[in-house]
Amino acid sequence: MTIDEQQKQLIAQFQLLDGDMEMALQYIMELGEELPGITDEERSDENIVKGCQSKVWLIASLENGKIQFKADSNTAITKGLVSMLVKVLNHQRPEDVLSAEIHFPEKIGMNRFIGTQRSNGFASMIKQINYYAVALSTEKSNA
């Protein structure tokens, strides 16, 4: 699936929840559960996304020219939020990640779940993903 298709699917899922806050939180936490775990070693300060109020660890690697993301958080809801980003951007080419327009947070009304202050944290996650994509696209072209 393309990044846009992934976003469309996520938005459709949230539309089914019909704005119910509890159902949305439940769904977000379930998405978090789907994230592949990270090792204790990977849970290092180096992999922490700066600017998030909760702790978020984000790791990226290149496999067959596509980015593999791994992530974790110390809170279940934030883990779900980062999981959505990973779901949308995982297994994509670095250049596609960089050129992607991430519009699903707005469409699913994410500010309701994370608050204005925390949306800065979400922006930090996207920034970190872009840093990885830039670094990995350089790695790819040097390979």
Binding site for other proteins (CB under 8 A): 20-22, 25-26, 29, 53-54, 74-78, 113
Give CA–CA dist 41/52, Å, rounded.
20
Query: Of 32 and 94, which has the nearer Cβ to other proteins?
Result: 32
Burial bucket for residue 43 (CB in 10 Å: 0-12, 13-18, 19+): middle
User: Taking phi first (over 0 means left), then psi (-120 to 50 degrees means alpha), and beta for anything else, what does residue 51 get?
Assistant: left
CB of 106 to other proteins, least distance (A): 19
Query: Of 17 and 59, which has the nearer Cβ to other proteins?
Result: 17
CB of 134 to other proteins, least distance (A): 30
Query: Of 60 and 85, which has the nearer Cβ to other proteins?
Result: 85
E strands, 19-136, where?
A: 56-63, 66-73
CB of 135 to other proteins, least distance (A): 30
